[in-house]
Amino acid sequence: MLNQLCDAISLGSVVDGYTRFTRYVAIGDSQTEGLWDGDDTVGLLGFADRLAALVDAVYPGLAYPNLAVRGKLLADVLTEQVPQVLAMRPDLITVCAGMNDVIQPGRSFGRALADLESVYAALAESGATIVTTTFPNVVQFLPLGRLAAGRLLRINNAITAAAGRYGLKLVDLYNAASMHDPATWDIDRVHASTKGHILFAAAVAEALNLPNSNHDWAESSGNHTQVSFGVRSYEQLRWIREIFMPWVWRRLRGKSSADGRVPKRPRLERVSVPHLEHHDAST
């Protein structure tokens, strides 16, 4: 009886048909860190922070660390973040990582997929509820996106297969109509806008069957502004000059956006909803 009680406390309990979560840990890279839902001046939120607020609104007292750091590869998530997650004994984990491996030139992508499998296998042993996602088709917005299209399909197939093997809750962002809306994405066309992060949080809330969650997040807004060939060409050239070339230059110098950065929420701490409200009022 005592062991059953401890398991209910540490791995979530069911109340009124819903699972009560007490410890939620988010791991991954820039999308989970919150780029670009805010900025480094006002602070970053992102879907994980917003999801934590949704869970805490239903079951107050949620402890929530976010271990994600921009620029991290799957190998980094496996060796740096997974051990920390397991030590925290969460009952809810979200995993969103791998896009840096998709666009990373010159590295064995097969090894990255093996790292992904190892991440899921290790976390599944924790007994926590684990939510993961397929990657949206962001390559559709990128001038050089066709170069990464094959890898994107491979990693999404690997994610879907692993979700079935390990009993993970899977959010299918790739096939969601809302992910085709340009407004879902920030100017770099890879990271979500504030709207996109709100949609991501709603998608995970549905996967968790949180009260009042639904599938509306997946619907397209239908507000697609048609642009001329000239404007589109200018925007593509600007993206190459301002986004792509600086990224290539960093890589050639062996630099990463992760250099010198640490997780924004490294400890098990209570969710701060006033922080979220202040952030939204400032942006």
The span from the CA of 144 to the CA of 95, in Å, is 26
Number of structural domains (the chain) is 1
Per 3-state DSSP, what percentage of the chain is helix, strand, and coil (rounded to 5)? Answer: 50, 10, 35
The band of 186, judged by pLDDT with boundaries at 50, 70 and 90, is confident
Specify the higher pLDDT residue, 275 or 136: 136
pLDDT at 175 over 70: yes
Detail the DSSP E strand segments found in 88-146: 92-96, 129-133
Answer for the pair 169, 239: CB distance below 8 angstroms, yes or no: no
Answer for the pair 112, 74: CB distance below 8 angstroms, yes or no: yes
Please state the φ and ψ torsions of residue 52, each to the nearest 5 degrees: -60, -40
- Amino acid 245: pLDDT: 57
Structural domain boundaries enclosing 266: 2-282
Answer for the pair 22, 15: CB distance below 8 angstroms, yes or no: no
Q: What is the CA radius of gyration of the chain?
A: 19
pLDDT at 2 over 50: no
Helix (H) or strand (E) holding 232: helix 229-239
Answer for the pair 51, 95: CB distance below 8 angstroms, yes or no: no
pLDDT (tens digit, 9 = 90+) per residue, 221-261? Answer: 876 666 555 655 555 556 555 555 565 556 566 666 555 67
**Which residue stretches of 70-108 are H helix?**
74-76, 82-88, 99-103
Beta bridge partner(s), residue 38: 44
Q: What is the pTM of this model?
A: 0.84
Point out the least confidently predicted range of 82-86, 106-110, 192-196: 106-110
User: Across residues 160-179, what is the average pLDDT?
Assistant: 98
**Which residues does 226 contact at the CB level (< 8 Å), separation at least 6?**
none
Please state the φ and ψ torsions of residue 95, each to the nearest 5 degrees: -125, 120
Tokens of 174: 């790739």
The span from the CA of 56 to the CA of 61, in Å, is 6
- Amino acid 243: pLDDT: 56
User: Across residues 11-26, what is the average pLDDT?
Assistant: 75
> What CATH number has the domain bearing residue 118?
3.40.50.1110
- Amino acid 187: pLDDT: 79
Answer for the pair 144, 164: CB distance below 8 angstroms, yes or no: no
Average pLDDT score over the chain: 83
Please state the φ and ψ torsions of residue 217, each to the nearest 5 degrees: -55, -30
pLDDT (tens digit, 9 = 90+) per residue, 38-62? Answer: 887 778 899 999 999 999 999 999 9
